[in-house]
């Protein structure tokens, strides 16, 4: 049976992105990584880390005098889950109008269009 992914709030995504990009970090490392991009106090970031630990999205390693945090869930799995949730909520699960809306607004290169066509061709072929 597949383990259900935790629901990650928008603010928590910022913390997860640091861990996905940089690997295991201390809480202060995460604070420093986010300090230039957000106006949150260090305590706020540490609260987000604690919430993610409770949700099972982050695992903790005790290194004696400090803790190191790392992602317990894969970024790709969370992105897929969030995408499916978005399509269910906004498009009532209908993928065609969702894709059409994204494609109409996208500024795609010829290479990107070819890549999308290849994916569609694979889907068509089974």
Contact call for residues 24 and 70 (beta carbons, < 8 A): yes
**Which pTM was predicted?**
0.82
Specify which residues 60 forms β-bridges with: 69
* Cα separation, 84 vs 124, whole angstroms: 20
- Of the pLDDT bands very low, low, confident and very high (cuts 50, 70, 90), residue 33 is very high
Are the CB atoms for 17 and 79 separated by under 8 Å? Answer: no
- DSSP 3-state of 66: coil
3-class secondary-structure state, position 68:
strand
Digit-coded pLDDT (tens) for 68-116 = 999 999 999 999 999 999 999 999 999 999 999 989 999 999 999 999 9
Confidence of residue 2 (pLDDT cuts 50, 70, 90): low
10-71 folds as: Arc Repressor Mutant, subunit A (1.10.10)
């Amino acid at each position: 049976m597949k383990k259900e992914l935790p629901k990650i709030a928008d603010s928590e995504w910022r913390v997860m992105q640091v861990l996905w990009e940089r690997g295991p970090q201390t809480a202060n490392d995460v604070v420093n990584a986010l300090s230039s991009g957000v106006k949150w106090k260090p305590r706020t970031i540490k609260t987000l880390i604690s919430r993610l630990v409770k949700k099972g999205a982050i695992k903790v390693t005790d290194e004696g005098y400090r803790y190191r945090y790392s992602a317990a869930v894969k970024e790709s799995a969370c992105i897929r889950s969030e995408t499916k949730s978005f399509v269910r909520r906004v498009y009532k699960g209908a993928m065609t109008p969702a894709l059409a809306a994204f494609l109409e607004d996208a500024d795609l290169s010829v290479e990107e269009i070819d890549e999308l066509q290849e994916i569609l061709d694979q889907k068509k072929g089974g």
